[in-house]
Structure 1
Amino acid sequence: MRYSPIDSQLFIDNRKNLKAHLPAKSMVIMQANDVLPTNADGTMAFKQNSDFFYLTGVDQEESTLLLFPDHPDKNYREVLFLRETNETIAVWEGDKLSKVQGTKVSGIERIHWTHEFERVFREMIYEADTVYFNSNEHTRNDSLTQSRDARFIERFRQDYPLHKLARIAPIMHRLREVKHEIEIELMRQACGITAQGFARLLKFVKAGVYEYEIEAELLHEFVRSRSRGFAYQPIIASGANACVLHYIQNNQACQPGDVLLLDVAAEYANYNSDLSRSIPVSGRFTQRQRSVYDAVLRVFYASRDMLVSGNTWDSYHREVGRLMESELKGLGLLSDHDITNQNPELPAYKKYFPHGTSHFLGLDVHDVGSKYHPFEPGMVFTCEPGIYIREEGLGIRLENNILITADGPVDLMENIPIEADEIETLMNER
């Protein structure tokens, strides 16, 4: 892996927290992700299953974790299965984790090769009353691809039809929404790499530069800082493209006088950051652009201040909506008539601010977590208000990553320029 070794105490603590939520005689089965095909003999870059990584730190395919906290034999309470390497694999793919390395990464003492799975599994399974399986229960998931976990569940139902099956996802979601200190530090590193990329492009962007050239500058900076690259498909949207919320073509030339909307951020050690900025292609905002920018910035600061322990998802977003409504009225985009006659289920401000203000952030960019839980210390959210005026070809979004603490919100991106004057100054220093 490119990233520096992670303290295995993170994964030891994560497993300990999971075990505390399991009833007696429970077994957890967790699989690594598949290596997915492209065409011919090609494969996509490997991305580890987030829950599996959270519990093991193992960033390798064909791996399986078995947890059985109260198995009568202590050797079967934590078992990790790894793909055994050989000379051919070493030549064509490089070395895989040894058993010693697997223990060092995960803190799990009992390591077996994957070809030993059936024998070890049968030694364990008949002592279990309930077997917990993993599945992708993210509210935004609509993938049609069958996962390695799903294939194993099908096989298990055939081979062990009398066991009670249970879902581990609700427990994992609750655990992952509150971050460990080590996780927070890894996310700080991702934010730091993102800051370096943004500083680089402020001196690069100018009229005539193509959006994909900006993407290349960012990727260069991210990779040279030990990141795998972008945390998500980058959005580099100049002019009217900024009004397309998930614009990813990144193939247009930046025109003089346009605003460039950037939704670009780095990952580090599988942990993600998520940044949005809007900058003037020519180095100076027009008066109208600046008015819209400052309106979004005021909503950003007020929204960030509401990300505090004890607040709730619905009340937070209702208040952000009221703030945005006021700003849009001040910009002449909404009238008193629009507001008085709006549909409560589809407020008038949604015409210009159609997306949510925040989402959980962590091992996944849209990380797992429940909007029904009050905010609490250790949660990390994005804060990303925006205004999109299609008839003017102008879109502004500003986004930072916010850690909730007992003493109030901590902005993990506070060192990344966000004030319009500072951005203009930096762009004109080159």
Structure 2
Amino acid sequence: MNSSTESHSLGVDVYRRRRERVLAALRQTGGGLAVIATAPEVMRNRDADYPFRHDSYFYYLTGFTEPEAVLVLDASADTEAGDPASILFCREKNVERETWEGFRYGPEAARYAFGFDAAFPIDQLDTEMPRLLADMPAIHYALGSSAELDAQVRGWLKAVRAQSRIGVKAPSKASDLLPILDEMRLVKDDHELAIMRRAASISAEAHRRAMQTCRPGMHEYEIEAELLYTFRRRGAQAPAYGGIVAAGANACVLHYPAGNAIACEGDLILIDAACELDGYASDITRTFPATGRFTSAQREIYDIVLAAQYAAIDATRAGVSFDAPHEAAVRVLAQGLLDTGIVDKNKFATVDDVIAERAYQRFYMHRTSHWLGMDVHDAGDYRDAHAPLDDHGARAWRKLVAGMTLTIEPGLYIRAAEDVPERYANIGIRIEDDAIVTAAGCELITREVPVDPDEIEALMRDARTPNAS
């Protein structure tokens, strides 16, 4: 049994309460049966699988990390009569397979360890589901998310309809379960925030190590190795996403993976990398000079991006629009592009002109924030589903609520071009932190790694000083 499974089985009430919330929501819509499957195992090549990672929705409701598992929630169950409302299907105990693959709970042990009302072997899923669906008003699942699950549901419904002559009715309605789960996942509870703070701390330590060990002449993949070492040494299970370690002009490629390029004198190193801990992601980006000292041009652009991040941070609090941090960052970035001459002052007289014409998008082409949680781009709509459509066919941005978690990550990416001042050519800078929305502002949980350029230089200088502690 791994430490993650142990910790979550100890917190079984967290998952039970979440299942109860889903059941309550379904009862308000008339009841029915909900089906949530974990992720499939995926073959990498020949007889080797990719490392298994559970489905986030399934894990959110179960804490269960084994493959081949399905959760069924019966919102029509008569719990007072002893009918099971939460049912797990999972692999059976198998001593021989455990010799090869490790510990399995099996249905009975999983039922007690994770607080389910009933549990069955996964091999019985296709037998049990038609029975469970009989006379149900509706089936709720992630419509269209898995061709395999869609096919299974059709098979179950066909088996139920085959019993129509004896008076058994099939569900007359199929609905998408994900909107309910997305809204639940959007606001984090104390259990989740505690894990995310630990993940953020591990990732921050990894970034500090990368800054301290970086030297001109290192390959990007060597710097990446320092990050991965720290993630695992501190107990994180895996990177939260494919990390970016980009030297020099590579930093202007938004999703550049760590490659074979060598960090040279005068290069900036952009690292966007973080760990996943107990099912929750962190997400940090820092940009620093390979030599340990920014050039004057690099410092100019860095200061603009940092000022944009501070403006976005100041705009992040409960009650404001999700778009408010982005608008605040864009205004600072646009002014900086105008002041440096990267955006032609002869074409754009004011920062409002730059914003209105979106002239900044050539150098800042992504948004400032995204939700963060179990997935690095976490579940939840960014717009208010209940707001009316505006003249452009869009709904208003949703309001931030205390407990939401998001990134704050402005950047500037200045590719070399004839109309770009040469001193700024191929400078790519992004600064990203993770924030928990509070009533009065936000809590930054990734600032154990510095963002101030003087502090970055000091950290790197101290690491290069002989006998430095």
TM-score bracket for this pair, using the shorter chain length: over 0.9
Q: How does 1:34-183 map to 2 (within 5 A)?
A: 34-72=40-78, 73-99=81-107, 101-103=109-111, 105-135=113-143, 146=146, 148-160=148-160, 162-163=170-171, 164-183=173-192
Deviation at 1:343, TM superposition (A): 8.8
How far apart, CA to CA, are the structure 2 residues paired with 1:150 and 1:338?
54
The aligned counterpart of 2:451 is 418
The aligned counterpart of 1:140 is none
Question: Does 1:382 find its partner at 2:420?
Answer: no
Deviation at 1:16, TM superposition (A): 1.9
- Deviates further, 310-319 or 19-28: 310-319
Question: Does 1:353 find its partner at 2:396?
Answer: no
Listed one character per residue, the Cα deviations across residues 187-245 of structure 1 (whole Å, up to 9, x for unaligned) are: 11110110121121122101001110111111111011121221100100000000000
The aligned counterpart of 2:394 is none
Listed one character per residue, the Cα deviations across residues 317-351 of structure 1 (whole Å, up to 9, x for unaligned) are: 33332222112112221234443696978600111
How far apart, CA to CA, are the structure 1 residues paired with 2:236 and 2:67?
19
The aligned counterpart of 1:142 is none
Structure 1 residues 204 and 284: alpha-carbon distance in aligned structure 2, compared to 1, 3 A threshold: same
What amino acid maps onto 1:399 in structure 2? E
How far apart, CA to CA, are the structure 2 residues paired with 1:278 and 1:188?
22
What amino acid maps onto 1:60 in structure 2? E
How far apart, CA to CA, are the structure 1 residues paired with 2:61 and 2:35?
11
TM-score normalised per structure 2: 0.85
Q: How does 1:195-210 map to 2 (within 5 A)?
A: 195-210=204-219
What amino acid maps onto 2:365 in structure 1? P
Question: Does 1:275 find its partner at 2:279?
Answer: no
How far apart, CA to CA, are the structure 1 residues paired with 2:293 and 2:242?
27
Q: How does 1:282-321 map to 2 (within 5 A)?
A: 282-321=291-330
Deviation at 1:150, TM superposition (A): 3.3
Residues 262, 276 of structure 1: 8 Å contact kept:
yes
Identity percentage over the alignment? 31
Listed one character per residue, the Cα deviations across residues 271-330 of structure 1 (whole Å, up to 9, x for unaligned) are: 000000001000000011011111100000110121211111344433332222112112
What amino acid maps onto 2:41 in structure 1? V
Listed one character per residue, the Cα deviations across residues 344-372 of structure 1 (whole Å, up to 9, x for unaligned) are: 78600111111110000001111111111
Q: Secondary structure at the match of 1:192?
A: helix
What amino acid maps onto 1:379 in structure 2? M
Deviation at 1:87, TM superposition (A): 2.3
What amino acid maps onto 1:61 in structure 2? P
What amino acid maps onto 2:413 in structure 1? Y
How far apart, CA to CA, are the structure 2 residues paired with 1:39 and 1:216?
24
Residues 34, 148 of structure 1: 8 Å contact kept:
no
TM-score normalised per structure 1: 0.93
Structure 1 residues 135 and 33: alpha-carbon distance in aligned structure 2, compared to 1, 3 A threshold: farther
- Where structure 2 has 5 or more consecutive residues not aligned to the other structure, the ranges are 162-169, 384-397, 417-424, 464-469
Q: Secondary structure at the match of 2:428?
A: strand
How far apart, CA to CA, are the structure 1 residues paired with 2:192 and 2:57?
13
- Where structure 1 has 5 or more consecutive residues not aligned to the other structure, the ranges are 138-145
- Deviates further, 357-366 or 19-28: 19-28
Residues 338, 348 of structure 1: 8 Å contact kept:
no
Q: Secondary structure at the match of 1:313?
A: coil
Q: Which has the higher contact order (CA 8 A, sep 6+)?
A: 1
How far apart, CA to CA, are the structure 1 residues paired with 2:156 and 2:375?
28
What amino acid maps onto 1:29 in structure 2? V
How far apart, CA to CA, are the structure 2 residues paired with 1:147 and 1:45?
22
What amino acid maps onto 1:388 in structure 2? Y
Residues 222, 228 of structure 1: 8 Å contact kept:
yes
Match among 4, 8, 12 for residue 12 of structure 2: 8
What amino acid maps onto 1:389 in structure 2? I
The aligned counterpart of 1:395 is 428
How far apart, CA to CA, are the structure 2 residues paired with 1:325 and 1:80?
53
How far apart, CA to CA, are the structure 1 residues paired with 2:250 and 2:37?
40
Structure 1 residues 104 and 303: alpha-carbon distance in aligned structure 2, compared to 1, 3 A threshold: farther
